[in-house]
Amino acid sequence: MDRNHQSNGKLGKTEKKFLRKQNKARHTLLRHEGIETVSYATQILVVANGGLGNGVSRNQLLPELEKLGQVDALLMPPNKPYSFVTYKTIEESKKAYVTLNGQKIVDDLGQKIILYLNFVEKAQWKELGLQALPPGLKVVEEIISSEDEKLLLESVNWTEDTDNPNFQKSLKHRRVKHFGYEFHYENNNVHKDKPLPGGLPDICDSMLEKWLKEGFIRHKPDQLTVNQYEPGHGIPAHIDTHSAFEDEIISLSLGSEIVMDFKHPDGVTVPVMLPRRSLLVMTGESRYLWTHGITPRKFDTVQASKGHKSGIITGDVGDLTLSKRGIRTSFTFRKVRQTPCDCSYPLVCDSQMKEPPPSFPESDKEALQLEQKYVHQVYEEIAGHFSSTRHTPWPHIVEFLKALPSGSLVADVGCGNGKYLGINKELYMVAEKL
């Protein structure tokens, strides 16, 4: 019997609710992603809510799908709340459609997510073009042993006395320590005439000498910043100040792997996997022109194949899954620059800029221009992706709306894409974007 109908041909309350939810998923896919579903059975199903974008990994979804037939392919586009599954036969896809539709699956955060399946003629997604590492960037895997990693992590004293001249306050979302020179986050610079006592830790000296001898680095650094990141935290996209540091910037990842995003001014973004105990080396264009940052999240989209470690996270949607972040500690080494920067990127070089960097607006007109450029324009650029990640209503909000008396007036101020509209059709809802 079709799960959507009772034996007497009438729809029950549960079936009506399911059809309403499935229909909403169908319209959301069409409106936001341009994915058109069909009413007849095919070998291919689109699984709404079963995507990397809402915390469902390949290891969770694939076994559930394989219980119902031979899966030829499971395609999981990055950052999307849906996936595509292709079965060997139409009969198997029909079985999955009937069995899994409306069923719950537990995501990597332990939350229950309801799957909604629809048939499609073909799997549709925007392919990422072939990408290469930003020029001047390299990742050296297993640059140190696990024993050396343990020694380095133990060498950082996060609980030292505040009277110590090298003590620095931690940032809001991470613990931080500086050696050689203190890095000032308010202006992304150092006081070149105020070195910290003690220089770099002794434990780093032999390691840096070895890297120099083996050709992994060209200069011996004199500044070190140690950051400890909890899962879910990151760093904003930035370029290390040209006038502050020399060409080569290196970062050692300890404790956990991470995906770092590199972005070119023309908009091209390259996600790069930095494995545990690997060394990231940025020189030339990758150091001076591309921004680098870490998106704050608890899971990274990574290659599913075990042979893939460092380098670019490709757009192969048949080989993507989620990786849970752990506590990561980075040792970022730099060499303080003593002369103005004369790099080949004057448009982003503070040493070569003809105009000083932006300061606080001096008039209402300037303030409006800054708001238009750095707020309105940014939101226009990210609106599509932002909306696609705001597809599932929060359970407590749904519970609240459904508990309101019939005829209640609700104002949803800052409604985003309006995902709560229609939750309770007996309410009068007014929605407004901010």
Side chain identity, residue 255? G
Residue 387 lies in a domain: no
Residue 5 lies in a domain: no
Same domain, 252 and 166: yes
Average pLDDT, the chain: 84
Strand partners for 53: none
| Residue 274: count of CB within 10 angstroms of its CB | 24
Q: What is residue 164's predicted lDDT score, i.e. its pLDDT?
A: 60
Q: What is residue 421's predicted lDDT score, i.e. its pLDDT?
A: 82
Poorest-confidence range of 188-202, 280-294, 404-418?
404-418
pLDDT band, very low/low/confident/very high, at 7 (cuts 50, 70, 90): very low
Decide if pLDDT at 72 tops 70.
yes
Dist. CA 267–CA 129, nearest whole Å: 13
| Domain end (from 348, 379, 408) | 348
DSSP type of residue 66: H
CA angle, 232 then 234 then 238, to 5°:
160
Query: Can you state the percent helix, strand and coil of the chain, rounding each to 5?
Result: 25, 25, 50
Q: What is the pTM of this model?
A: 0.65
Same domain, 304 and 160: yes
Q: What pLDDT, in 10s, does the model give residues 176-216? A: 899 999 888 777 888 888 999 989 999 999 999 999 999 99
**Between 27 and 312, residue with greater pLDDT:** 27
Torsional class of 422: left (φ above 0), alpha (ψ -120 to 50), beta (otherwise): left
Counting the structural domains of the chain, the total is 3
Average pLDDT over residues 119-130: 69
What is the phi/psi pair of residue 119, to 5°?
Answer: -80, 145
Q: What is residue 309's predicted lDDT score, i.e. its pLDDT?
A: 66
| Domain end (from 119, 147, 172) | 119
Decide if pLDDT at 32 tops 50.
yes
Residue 130 lies in a domain: no
Give residue 199's domain range.
137-348
Poorest-confidence range of 104-108, 226-230, 352-356?
352-356
Dist. CA 135–CA 282, nearest whole Å: 9
CATH of the domain at 213: 2.60.120.1520
Same domain, 312 and 207: yes
pLDDT band, very low/low/confident/very high, at 318 (cuts 50, 70, 90): confident
pLDDT band, very low/low/confident/very high, at 2 (cuts 50, 70, 90): very low
Residue 335 lies in a domain: yes
Decide if pLDDT at 96 tops 90.
yes
Q: What is residue 9's predicted lDDT score, i.e. its pLDDT?
A: 55
CATH of the domain at 102: 3.30.70.330
Instruction: Name 51's Cβ contacts closer than 8 Å, sequence gap at least 6.
Output: 76, 77, 80, 81, 82, 83
Same domain, 143 and 263: yes
pLDDT band, very low/low/confident/very high, at 149 (cuts 50, 70, 90): very high
Same domain, 319 and 260: yes
Q: Which pair of tokens denotes residue 12? A: 């029950």
Residue 372 lies in a domain: no
Decide if pLDDT at 332 tops 80.
yes
**Between 316 and 133, residue with greater pLDDT:** 133
Percent residues over pLDDT 70 in the chain: 86
Same domain, 269 and 172: yes
| Domain end (from 313, 330, 348) | 348
Residue 132 lies in a domain: no
Same domain, 92 and 43: yes
The full 3-state SS of 79-112, as one line of letters, equals CCCEEEEEECCHHHHHHHHHHHCCCEEECCCCCE
Decide if pLDDT at 6 tops 50.
no
Same domain, 255 and 198: yes
Decide if pLDDT at 359 tops 70.
no
Instruction: Name 74's Cβ contacts closer than 8 Å, sequence gap at least 6.
Output: 58, 61, 62, 65, 83, 84, 85, 86, 318
Q: What pLDDT, in 10s, does the model give residues 268-283? A: 888 999 999 999 999 9
Helix 202-213 vs helix 146-155: angle between axes, to the nearest 10 degrees? 140
Buried b / exposed e along 133-147 (16+ C-beta atoms within 10 A) = ebebbbbbeebbeee
Same domain, 158 and 264: yes
Same domain, 57 and 197: no
Residue 197 lies in a domain: yes
Same domain, 245 and 334: yes
Poorest-confidence range of 14-18, 68-72, 235-239, 332-336?
14-18
Torsional class of 255: left (φ above 0), alpha (ψ -120 to 50), beta (otherwise): left
Same domain, 91 and 204: no
Half-sphere exposure of 296 (CA within 13 A, CB side): 9
Long-range contacts from 266-270, C-beta under 8 angstroms, 24+ separation: 268/131, 270/131, 270/132, 270/133, 270/134, 270/312
Residue 158 lies in a domain: yes
Q: What is residue 209's predicted lDDT score, i.e. its pLDDT?
A: 94
pLDDT band, very low/low/confident/very high, at 100 (cuts 50, 70, 90): very high
Dist. CA 323–CA 307, nearest whole Å: 15
